[in-house]
Amino acid sequence: MSDELYDPVANPYAPGAGTPPPALVGRDQVIGAADVALRRLKSSRTSQHTLITGLRGVGKTVLLGKLAAVAEHVGFRVIRVEAVGGDDTIRSVLRQARRIVDECDAGAKVGRALRSIESVSLTVVGTGVAFERRAGRSDREALADVLVDIAAVAAEQDLGVMVAIDEAQMLDRHDLRRLLAGVHRCGQDGLPLYCVLAGLPNLVGEVARAATYAERMFTVADLGPLTPDQVVQAIVQPAEEIGVVWSSEATEMIVDHSDGFPFFVQTWAYHTWNAATGEPISPADVERAEPNVDQALDSSFFAARIARIPASEVAYVQALASLGPGPHRSGDVAAAAGKSTPQVAAFRDRLIAEGLIYAPRYGWVEFAIPHFDRFVRRALPTQS
């Protein structure tokens, strides 16, 4: 028998990675635009594709998942992958492409699609995509053909294909170029292929570098923090649905503590719910939740990231953190580390590749994780 006022099992909030929130707030415009884009593609009209960018915990994966659900609803088959370094991403794209082709009734275009999947498969070890005769040619460039050919197979069945790639800043630049070439050709041929790429803010630059025309193919949804009203809605609406009331002072406190970052909003709301002792949920309940929130953030969100920083890069991370919330000039970070900019360039580049920091514009850097500067100052104090 528990003595909580509010049942922790019924706690509606969803702190996590890619965990759908009980109220997905502030995204109606992006979702509405995607719905129109998908329907246009289905009726052989052209459309732009979507680039979702933003810092860690801002809701990119959740939005990608929502767009995938919208796509399925209007008759698209979805290829969804999270990019990791190496060939795993392409392996997964090929497997899912093969599955889509297999599920479609044998039409005229199927043989061609299978051949392009095979060409790329032969360049990647261990795709698990089996072919009866392995006599085809091996050609990584055929990745563009894979997209064009499966979109053609889908179109024959009055279906579309959505390619959704999360953490897309991790894609190999050549594979990104090949994929974009495929998306581009689908647009030229009037084929129903919709592409959504999600990643850290530097993804926009990566896409532009991969192909000169690519920028024009995408609408960028740069997700920032939620507005105060949206934070309140994210907290209050799911509670209201089950008859629980929050005081406005309590939600205001979470607006302040979270700075509008969705992951922090969910974490604060979740722990406050579990700590609450009165009706409505009050500022005292928020305060009571604080140690649990700090512990949850430190041990999961922040610690997982800091654990991956090699010792050689810690000094750079500490120097950046010592300057407070960013962005900061690369030169200032180097100076704070007692080094010159060229001396720290390799550390900066590696931290960017690991997704811990990013360059919002040339010559500037910032942590890709909200509030990370505070955490580093707390968890890794510099000896002085």
- Give residue number: closest CB to ligand ATP: 59
Among 6, 12, 21, 375, binds ligand ATP (CB under 6 A): 21
Q: What one-character DSSP code corresponds to residue 142?
A: G
- Give residue number: closest CB to Mg ion: 61
Select 143 or 265, whichever has its Cβ closest to Mg ion: 265
Chain residues 248-287 in contact with ligand ATP, contact rule CB under 6 A: 262-263, 265-266
Select 16 or 280, whichever has its Cβ closest to ligand ATP: 16
Maximum Cα–Cα distance across the chain: 72
For tokens 């010592």, what's the residue?
A: 322
- DSSP assignment of 296-310: HIIIIIIHHHHTTS-
- DSSP assignment of 236-284: HHHHHHTT--B-HHHHHHHHHHHTT-HHHHHHHHHHHHHH--SSSB-HH
Select 101 or 244, whichever has its Cβ closest to ligand ATP: 244
| Residue 203 makes contact with ligand ATP by CB under 6 A | no
Q: Are strands 364-367 and 357-358 parallel, antiparallel or unpaired?
A: antiparallel
Select 25 or 37, whichever has its Cβ closest to ligand ATP: 25
Least distance from Mg ion to the Cβ atom of residue 356, Å: 14
For tokens 């008859």, what's the residue?
A: 243
Signed CA dihedral, 54, 57, 59, 61: sign only: positive
Q: Is 43 helix (H, G, I), strand (E, B) or coil?
A: coil
Size of the site for ligand ATP (CB under 6 A): 24
Residue 11 near which of ligand ATP, Mg ion, none (CB within 5-8 Å, type-dependent):
none
Among 4, 7, 8, 17, binds ligand ATP (CB under 6 A): 17
Among 47, 51, 53, 57, binds ligand ATP (CB under 6 A): 57
- In whole angstroms, how far apart are CA 326 and each of 115, 330, 332, 351? 49, 11, 11, 15
| Residue 60 makes contact with ligand ATP by CB under 6 A | yes
Bridge partners for 13 per DSSP? none
Among 11, 12, 25, 255, binds ligand ATP (CB under 6 A): 25
Residue 14 near which of Mg ion, ligand ATP, none (CB within 5-8 Å, type-dependent):
ligand ATP
| Residue 210 makes contact with ligand ATP by CB under 6 A | no
| Residue 237 makes contact with ligand ATP by CB under 6 A | no
Select 24 or 335, whichever has its Cβ closest to ligand ATP: 24
Residue type, position 345, single letter = A
CA angle 77, 78, 84 (to 5 degrees): 155
Among 15, 187, 238, 326, binds ligand ATP (CB under 6 A): 15
Residue 54 near which of Mg ion, ligand ATP, none (CB within 5-8 Å, type-dependent):
ligand ATP
Q: Are strands 218-222 and 49-53 parallel, antiparallel or unpaired?
A: parallel
| Residue 61 makes contact with Mg ion by CB under 5 A | yes
Least distance from Mg ion to the Cβ atom of residue 82, Å: 8
In this chain, which stretch among 54-62, 174-182, 223-231, 273-281 interacts with Mg ion, using CB under 5 A?
Answer: 54-62
Alpha helices in the chain (DSSP H): 28-42, 60-73, 88-103, 110-121, 143-156, 173-189, 203-210, 214-217, 228-241, 248-258, 262-275, 283-296, 303-306, 311-322, 330-336, 341-353, 372-379
Select 152 or 358, whichever has its Cβ closest to ligand ATP: 358
Structure tokens at 48: 């732009």
| Residue 360 makes contact with ligand ATP by CB under 6 A | no
Residue 19 near which of ligand ATP, Mg ion, none (CB within 5-8 Å, type-dependent):
ligand ATP
| Residue 56 makes contact with ligand ATP by CB under 6 A | yes
Residue type, position 234, single letter = A
Interface with ligand ATP by CB under 6 A: which residues?
14-19, 21, 24-27, 54, 56-62, 234, 262-263, 265-266
Interface with Mg ion by CB under 5 A: which residues?
60-61
